Amino acid sequence: MDVIKAQTAGFCMGVDLALRKLDAVVNANKDRQLFTLGPIIHNPQVLEDYRQKGVQVATSPEDIPVGAQVVIRAHGVPCHVEQELVNRNIEVLDATCPKVKKAQLSIGRCGSEGRIALLFGEANHPEVKGLLSYASSGAFVFESREELNDFKFMPGEAYCLAAQTTQDKTIFAQISDELQKNSDKNVQVLHTICNATQNRQDEAIKLAKEVDFVVVVGGFESGNTRRLAQVVTDSGTPAMHVETFKDIKVDQLQGIQRVGLTAGASTPAKIIDEVEQFLKGL
């Protein structure tokens, strides 16, 4: 079986930066309790490695004792949560992805101008919850064009359109074009989808045209990994989303001659390499 691996598979800049910051704290901190508020990234294997190093995952600010250190996850947190931690004299180290931070501040500026945010993303995703906290003039979250079609635009209101940084750029562009063609709607478009996400999706689509099947590696809770698998299947090529080589359903690869391999932005190189070797051994 021929295996063609995407060049962009694996850690993006934001994930790599967040883990480097966490590593620095782990190496320097031998006595104080160390937490992340929510998982630092959406990859269970990485989280287990840090758990063994003493890093605890807190689900809420109340779980973090006074005197401890907390690292803000790559997805960011709502602004009021971060302030709550500071007020409780907990040392906060911010590992929010710079692209997410830029999106937060852009939505915040639109909110201060009285614009209502139209946010293309997953309502329950931690990044989206953080972005919404900056929308001071109100917000509407939608996961599909159909949901936005049901939204009631109010005459005289101003809006801004933004997206979760890992969303599908093609769908976002279609939504943006449709809104801007309608002169009755006062909508400012914020281009908040990360370039790394766009590059991975573009390469996945190109790869899908060159192979018979694509294996996408990454945490099952990882939104950007799920969307990589989705853009592949949308292009007409079957795909399989796995966390490790142990999840590969060999029966689905029977008769496949060329398989593509890509991975989400929070997938370690070690796991990608293990999947590649397993596929080559079939």
CATH number for the domain harbouring residue 78: 3.40.50.11270
Phi/psi for 218 (5° steps) reads: 165, 165
Q: Which of 96, 129, 160 is the last residue of a domain?
A: 96
CATH assignment at residue 235:
3.40.1010.20
DSSP codes, the chain: -EEEE-TT-S--HHHHHHHHHHHHHHHH-SSS-EEEES-SSS-HHHHHHHHHTTEEEESSGGGSPTT-EEEEPTT---HHHHHHHHHTT-EEEE---HHHHHHHHHHHHHHHTTPEEEEES-TTSHHHHHHHTT-TT-EEEESSHHHHHT--PPTT-EEEEEE-TTS-HHHHHHHHHHHHH-TTSEEEE---S-HHHHHHHHHHHHHHTTSSEEEEES-TT-HHHHHHHHHHHHTT--EEEESSGGG--GGGGTT--EEEEEE-TT--HHHHHHHHHHHHT-
Examine the domain organization and report whether 202 and 158 are in the same domain.
no
Neighbour count for residue 255 (Cβ, 10 Å) = 7
Q: What percent of the chain has pLDDT over 70?
A: 100
Catalytic residue among 127, 157, 178, 210: 127
Q: Are residues 228 and 267 in the same domain?
A: yes
Residues 158 and 210 in one domain: no
Q: How far apart are CA 91 and CA 80, in angstroms?
A: 15
The residues with which 37 forms a beta bridge, in sequence order, are: 58, 72
Rounded to an integer, the average pLDDT of 108-119 is: 98
Let me know whether 156 and 214 are in one domain.
Answer: no
Q: What is the Cα–Cα distance from 269 to 256, expressed in whole angstroms? A: 24
Distance CA 124, CA 141 (A): 10
Range of the domain at 79: 13-96
Q: Based on the fold, state whether residues 126 and 188 are members of the same structural domain.
A: yes
pLDDT (0 to 100) of residue 132: 98
Q: What is the pLDDT of residue 187?
A: 95
Which of 67, 96, 125 represents a domain boundary (last residue)?
A: 96
Which whole-number Å values give the CA distances from 50 to 39, 54, 263, in the listed order?
10, 7, 21
Residue 117 shares a structural domain with residue 81: no
Whether 279 has a pLDDT exceeding 90, the answer reads yes
- What pTM does this model have? 0.85
Which pLDDT band holds residue 180 (cuts at 50, 70, 90)? Answer: confident
Confidence of residue 181 (pLDDT cuts 50, 70, 90): confident
**What pLDDT band is residue 146 in, cutting at 50, 70 and 90?**
very high
pLDDT confidence of residue 215: 98
Q: Are residues 217 and 183 in the same domain?
A: no
Read off the pLDDT of residues 202-231 as tens digits, 9 standing for 90 and up. Answer: 999 999 999 999 999 999 999 899 999 999
Provide mean pLDDT across the span 188-215. Answer: 95
Average pLDDT, the chain: 94
Q: Are residues 159 and 213 in the same domain?
A: no
In this predicted structure, the answer to whether residue 23 has a pLDDT above a threshold of 90 is yes
Let me know whether 248 and 225 are in one domain. yes
Domain boundary among 140, 167, 193: 193
Task: Judge whether 262 and 200 are in contact, CB under 8 Å.
Answer: yes
Higher pLDDT pick, 182 / 8: 8
Return the pLDDT at 133. Answer: 97
- Average pLDDT score over residue span 240-247: 97
Q: Would you say how long the chain is, in residues?
A: 282
Q: Are residues 66 and 21 in the same domain?
A: yes
Tell me how many domains the chain contains: 3
Biggest CA pair distance of the chain: 62
- Residue 127 annotated as catalytic: yes
* 142 and 56 belong to one structural domain: no
Do 183 and 111 lie in one domain? The reply is yes
β partners of residue 160: 117, 188
